């Protein structure tokens, strides 16, 4: 079968390179025509078969369950493909859906060969003449005198007879039918035509003859070839321009996305971590100038544990990983602060205890001194 238009490559069998015919799907989801698959597996031996596409093994045991018909929609798509009627050489110009071609040939096609309606005649005849009785007798073309079968005479008169003249609708010349097409396309002087400068603004219309005369003097027509090359060049430029514009848009979008990521990262991680980001961004090669511009103002020296960041595929993932490492840094700092805090509290408590002890010591000493003083005073008073 001959397909009218190119077929989607997904509907092509890898073995016969034609659109699938009775497609079968293997366990690995690869699809082939039923016949192709059978023929391929016929050449293989042993208990397993190998998928022609992926070389995946298919156990021969329970083989029926491992191949199945393709889904209905695939078959539907295949059946909807337009094909030329197999009788196109005979003259049928129909384009028919593949699923309906059998019906077309069997029931409708004018050029399908049927048995002659005369019981005694054994020859075939096209469907379109089959109801006119037996046409298998010799006769003569009334125009050119050639003798042929009656069944062929219609085609002959319609298409090939060189003596059957018809009148050209424009110039009233008489000529044979086979020559008419060429006459209209390039010879007849009375066919309506337009100036070749018409697409560029020349309003002249007339017959081929008058147009030919006009073209010699028409400025626009003489410029036409030049103008049309110009136009083609313009269109090409336009197309290239559009591609470039799309690229630019893409790049700009990427840039703004990156800037957004950077700006939304900076506030929560505060000044100290931002400066560290600057440090790491120096460690790894950065191509995005925008990112650098944001980092550099924050940069000042700080005691740093340099985070060894490996090269990243895309700037976005680089920035994200940067962000992640910064967050880790921050949580580590938080931990250290909490630890320090608890340590100082313990220290202060210890210190307080000690001073309290000392105070009680001092108090006791003062008390004993008072007692002594008291005692001395009382002895002095008694004396």
Partner 1 sequence: MSLPKRIIKETERLMAEPVPGISAVPHDDNLRYFNVTIDGPSQSPYEGGTFKLELFLPEDYPMTPPKVRFLTKIYHPNIDRLGRICLDVLKANWSPALQIRTILLSIQALLGAPNPDDPLANDVAQRWKEDQNAAIDTAKEWTAKYATA
Query: What are 155's two structure tokens?
Result: 């085609």
Tell me which of 33, 36, 135, 319 binds partner 1, using CB under 8 A.
36
Least gap, CB of 94 to partner 1 (angstroms): 22
Query: What are 181's two structure tokens?
Result: 């097409």
Looking at 50-58, 174-182, 291-299, 311-319, which segment touches partner 1 (CB under 8 A)? 50-58
Tell me which of 53, 75, 90, 316 binds partner 1, using CB under 8 A.
53
Tell me which of 43, 122, 147, 379 binds partner 1, using CB under 8 A.
43
Least gap, CB of 86 to partner 1 (angstroms): 14
In the complex with partner 1, which residue's Cβ is closer, 40 or 286?
A: 40
Cα–Cα nearest to 291, from 255, 325, 245: 255
Q: Is 27 in the site for partner 1 (CB under 8 A)?
A: no
Tell me which of 4, 8, 14, 59 binds partner 1, using CB under 8 A.
14
Place of tokens 């050119």: 144
Looking at 10-18, 149-157, 321-329, 368-376, which segment touches partner 1 (CB under 8 A)? 10-18
In the complex with partner 1, which residue's Cβ is closer, 2 or 120?
A: 2
Q: Is 15 in the site for partner 1 (CB under 8 A)?
A: yes
In the complex with partner 1, which residue's Cβ is closer, 16 or 149?
A: 16
Size of the site for partner 1 (CB under 8 A): 13
Least gap, CB of 113 to partner 1 (angstroms): 22
How many Å apart are CA 167 and CA 173, to the nearest integer?
6
CA distances from 306 to 102, 276, 278, 354 (A): 77, 9, 11, 43
**Contact status, residue 49 vs residue 58, Cβ threshold 8 Å:** yes
Looking at 45-53, 135-143, 157-165, 281-289, which segment touches partner 1 (CB under 8 A)? 45-53
In the complex with partner 1, which residue's Cβ is closer, 21 or 222?
A: 21
State how beta strands 174-176 and 165-167 pair: antiparallel
135 CB-near residues (< 8 Å, 6+ apart): 116, 125, 129, 149, 150, 151
Cα–Cα nearest to 130, from 110, 144, 149, 157: 110
How many Å apart are CA 38 and CA 292, to the nearest integer?
64
Q: Is 18 in the site for partner 1 (CB under 8 A)?
A: yes
How many Å apart are CA 84 and CA 104, to the nearest integer?
11
Place of tokens 């680089």: 318
Footprint of partner 1 (CB under 8 A): 14-18, 36, 39-40, 43, 50, 52-53, 55
């Amino acid at each position: 079968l001959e397909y009218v238009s190119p077929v989607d490559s997904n509907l092509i069998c890898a073995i016969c390179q034609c659109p699938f015919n009775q497609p079968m799907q293997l366990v690995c989801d690869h699809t082939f025509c039923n016949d192709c698959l059978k023929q391929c597996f016929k050449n293989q031996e042993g208990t397993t078969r190998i998928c022609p596409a992926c070389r995946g093994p298919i156990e021969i045991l329970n083989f029926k369950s491992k191949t199945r018909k393709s889904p209905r929609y695939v078959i539907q798509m295949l059946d909807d493909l337009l094909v030329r009627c197999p009788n196109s050489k005979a003259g049928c110009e129909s384009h028919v859906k593949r699923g309906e071609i059998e019906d077309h040939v069997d029931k409708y096609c004018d050029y399908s060969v049927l048995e002659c309606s005369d019981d005694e005649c054994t020859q075939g005849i096209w469907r379109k003449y089959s109801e006119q009785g037996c046409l298998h007798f010799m006769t003569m073309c009334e125009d050119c005198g050639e003798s042929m079968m009656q069944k062929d005479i219609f085609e002959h008169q319609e298409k090939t007879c060189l003596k059957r003249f018809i009148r050209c609708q424009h110039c009233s010349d008489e000529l044979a039918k086979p020559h008419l097409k060429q006459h209209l396309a390039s010879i007849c002087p009375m066919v309506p035509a337009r100036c070749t400068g018409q697409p560029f603004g020349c309003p002249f219309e007339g017959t081929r003859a008058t147009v030919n005369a006009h073209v010699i003097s028409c400025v626009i027509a003489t410029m036409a070839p030049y103008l049309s090359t110009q136009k083609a060049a313009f269109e090409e430029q336009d197309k290239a321009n559009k591609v470039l514009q799309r690229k630019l848009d893409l790049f700009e979008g990427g840039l703004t996305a990156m800037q957004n990521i950077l700006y939304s990262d900076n506030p929560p991680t505060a000044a100290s971590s931002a400066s560290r980001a600057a440090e790491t961004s120096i460690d790894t090669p950065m191509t995005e100038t925008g990112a650098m511009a944001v980092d550099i103002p924050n940069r000042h020296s700080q005691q740093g544990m340099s985070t060894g960041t490996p090269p990243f595929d895309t700037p976005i993932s680089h920035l994200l990983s940067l962000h992640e490492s910064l967050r880790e840094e921050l949580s580590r700092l938080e931990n250290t602060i909490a630890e320090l805090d608890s340590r100082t509290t313990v220290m202060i408590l210890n210190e307080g205890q000690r001073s309290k002890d000392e105070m009680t010591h001092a108090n006791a000493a003062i008390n004993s001194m008072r007692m002594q003083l008291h005692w001395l005073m009382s002895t002095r008073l008694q004396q």
